[in-house]
Structure 1
Amino acid sequence: MSDVALALGGASFDGLVKIEELAGQGMVTLRGDLTDKAIVKVVKDVFGVTLPGIRETVFAGSTGALWMSPDEALLLCSYDDAQAKADDLATKLADSHALVVNVSDARAVFQLKGSMMREVIAKLAPVDMSPDAFKPGMVRRTRMAQVAAAFWMDDASTARVVCFRSVAAYMFALLSTAADDASAVNHFTR
């Protein structure tokens, strides 16, 4: 695992939710027409997942795809496989109008785990976090306080947050403050 992947030294916080930095997440950005059959086929061949629908995620084990915009997907894999998968994807898409970049070292990932996860995120992002509006399998690309971020739920009490590595310490501080035991609002537990 790269020393770069351990930007905060595996930071963790335990409050309303447990927050952990997840080191070693491989991430490949794909820009292009996400409905192009050639692109869809190559992503399936290289990453083993289909491209997701609008604001959705698709996972097959530890490999996944996140919808980021109409022409952008974030593809997830192990850190050690990211460059090889990015190279393979780029080679196979050489005749398509597409951009492929390994962004693993440019991003940080945090996991939030606990029954108050929705409340912690709702304090920071302008997203309806009610269980009817945001469910596992959905992703949101938004802002959390002052920084760009994306997040999705792995299950009913676990979410992952991705941000630029350059603001990882700020994001960790934001999440930790929102998860402080003294800050409970109990909006989603009424």
Structure 2
Amino acid sequence: MAEPYGESPLSARAGTLARHSAPDAVRIAEIPFTAQVDLRVDPKGLAGGRIGTAIGAMLPNLPGSVVRTGDLLVLWLGPDEWLLLGREGTAESMQDTLSTALGDEHGAVVDVSANRTIIEVSGPSAREVLNKGCALDLHPRSFGPDRCAQTLLARAGVILVCRDVQPPSYWLIVRASFARYVTDWLIDAAAEYVG
């Protein structure tokens, strides 16, 4: 289990993010210390079904789909890979639940909470800000709520999650080592909307 650090990757930038956000245009904020567990398993095997029962929803099986169940978000990352997001402090219980359901079958359950942080970009201009550095079509008919994609934003690898479209709200799940770079880029990209 990864031990939580005393501060998040963007704790030193909280004030800067607040100053460069405008709720009526675009808001940029960190959602720190989210529990993140990576799951690898054959979804067609018995363990896939047991895991679905254990978490209260079947694992999403369509590329880029997201399932919400209780306090969990389950993101499809590949044909046999998912990222489960939960409240702070729940990574160990998530691991225990998944490992028990996995049993002796081939698979992996790994706490990756310390590997990434989440940056929320929301507000009426959020989509326009992200479009400056992301090649995905973020229009709601193409990338609506409960959709995710592994992509590049300003040449940094991120997992992009659409949380809502009215008003637009996105999560950028980014490696801790790239978090400051991505927030600096977002602040610059949002400048014209924040004024």
Shift of 1:2: 3.8
For these two proteins, the number of residue pairs brought into alignment is 183
What per-residue deviation string (whole Å, max 9, x for no partner) do you get for residues 40-72 of structure 1?
322441x33321122110112431100111121
| Counterpart in the other structure of 1:23 | 32
CA contact (8 A) 1:5 1:105 kept: no
2:182 equivalent among 165, 171, 175:
171
> For residues 115-144 of structure 1, what are the alpha-carbon distances to aligned partners after superposition, in whole Å with 9 as ceiling and x for unaligned?
111111111111011222111111111111
Determine whether 1:60 maps to 2:69.
yes
Q: For residue 96 of structure 2, give the secondary structure of its aligned residue in structure 1.
A: helix
TM-score by length of 1: 0.86
2:59 counterpart (39, 43, 51): 51
Gaps of 5+ in 2: none
Distance 2:79 2:121 in 1: 27
- Aligned residues with identical type, % of pairs: 29
Any unmatched runs of 5+ in structure 1? 185-190
What amino acid is aligned across from residue 48 of structure 1 in structure 2?
A: G
For residues 35 and 120 of structure 1, what CA distance do their matches in structure 2 show? 39
CA contact (8 A) 1:151 1:160 kept: yes
Contact 1:33–1:98 (Cα < 8 Å) also in 2: yes
Match of 1:130 in 2: 139
Superposition RMSD on alpha carbons, in Å? Answer: 2.2
Are the structure 2 counterparts of residues 113 and 81 from structure 1 closer, same or farther at C-alpha, using a change threshold of 3 Å?
same
Runs of 4 or more above 6 Å deviation? none
Partner of 1:7: 9
